[in-house]
């Protein structure tokens, strides 16, 4: 099922496939629902898989407010509400969305069956930057100018493909060219990427504060799935796993886009997390 649901007055693109317990997949900076296609094919026989596009990304409408950690955690809950998923679910976040999903698990433990962080963003001691409103306004203005210039249509798809090639070890971007053009050849996507990038440090700092106030449930299965390409990055993933008292898994030979390089590793982490939750 592919549908549009209104959250905060913004049309969100949501895709639901499969059967069984629910798991929600949330992508990193600038990603779209189709980046999870290979993982979804592996999970759908065993899980009801929910994918969604944050505002401005994929096929979702443009954002009305700047991104925030609490806003993104709330968005996850409201997407699940729209899909009729009332019970606990496995939440899976890649990169930037790892921050969002961890916050959701801390703030809504009654709705979280397991947490899987796929090469999640790691900020050990993030602090908010000054003048967030001023920076948000400047980012919106920059996005508007770029959109009006036509550069997103001319360069957006090529930049997307170049970014994917740099972030994986397994080759080119597997996404269909027509979808890449439809999604990334727009000013909407450009503005969304700029806004998420500009607010990244603030979102990470907000998670540091949430961690202090809202502990993860002791019985919650948490998995950190790390790309195995960079030793320095792997050390930070080890830190994250220790901080969250999580099971650490390494995806050997994978780049940052683990769902493209090693989708079977992501699917296995999700399925095993569900098994661990059932046994707890």
* Backbone phi, psi, residue 260, to 5°: -95, -40
Please tell me whether residue 80 adopts helix, strand or coil conformation. Answer: helix
Per residue of the chain (280 residues), give pLDDT as tens: 899 999 999 999 999 999 999 999 999 999 999 999 999 999 999 999 999 999 999 999 988 788 999 999 999 999 999 999 989 999 999 999 999 999 999 999 999 999 999 999 999 887 777 767 666 777 776 767 667 777 777 789 999 999 999 999 978 999 999 999 999 999 899 999 999 998 999 999 999 999 999 999 999 999 999 998 778 899 999 999 999 999 999 999 899 999 999 999 999 999 999 765 554 4
Residue 132, exposed/middle/buried by CB under 10 A (0-12, 13-18, 19+)? Answer: middle
The pTM assigned to this predicted structure is 0.94
**Across the chain, where does the E strand assignment appear?**
2-7, 10-18, 22-26, 48-52, 89-94, 112-118, 222-227, 247-251
């Amino acid at each position: 099922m592919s549908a549009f649901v209104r959250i905060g007055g913004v049309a969100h693109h949501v895709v639901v496939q499969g059967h069984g317990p629910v798991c929600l997949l949330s992508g990193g900076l600038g990603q779209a629902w189709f980046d999870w296609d290979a993982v979804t094919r592996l999970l759908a026989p065993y899980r009801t898989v929910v994918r969604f596009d944050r505002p401005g990304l994929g096929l979702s409408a443009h954002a009305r407010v700047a991104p925030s950690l609490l806003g993104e955690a709330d968005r996850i809950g409201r997407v699940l509400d729209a899909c009729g998923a009332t019970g606990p679910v496995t939440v899976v976040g890649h990169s930037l969305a790892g921050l969002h999903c961890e916050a959701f698990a801390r703030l809504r433990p009654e709705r979280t069956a397991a947490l899987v962080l796929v090469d999640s963003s790691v900020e050990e001691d993030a602090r908010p930057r000054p003048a967030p409103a001023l920076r948000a306004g400047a980012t919106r203005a920059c996005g508007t100018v770029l959109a009006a210039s036509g550069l997103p249509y001319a360069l957006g798809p090529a930049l997307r493909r170049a970014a994917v090639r740099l972030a994986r070890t397994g080759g080119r971007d597997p996404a269909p060219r027509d979808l890449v053009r439809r999604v990334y050849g727009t000013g909407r996507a450009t503005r969304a990427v700029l806004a998420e990038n500009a607010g990244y440090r603030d979102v990470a700092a907000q998670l540091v504060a949430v961690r202090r106030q809202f502990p993860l449930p002791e019985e919650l299965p948490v998995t950190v799935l790390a790309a195995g390409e960079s030793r320095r990055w792997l050390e930070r993933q080890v830190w994250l796993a220790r901080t969250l008292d999580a099971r650490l898994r390494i995806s050997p030979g994978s780049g940052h886009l683990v769902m493209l390089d090693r989708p079977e590793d992501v699917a296995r982490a999700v399925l095993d997390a569900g098994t661990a939750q059932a046994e707890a």
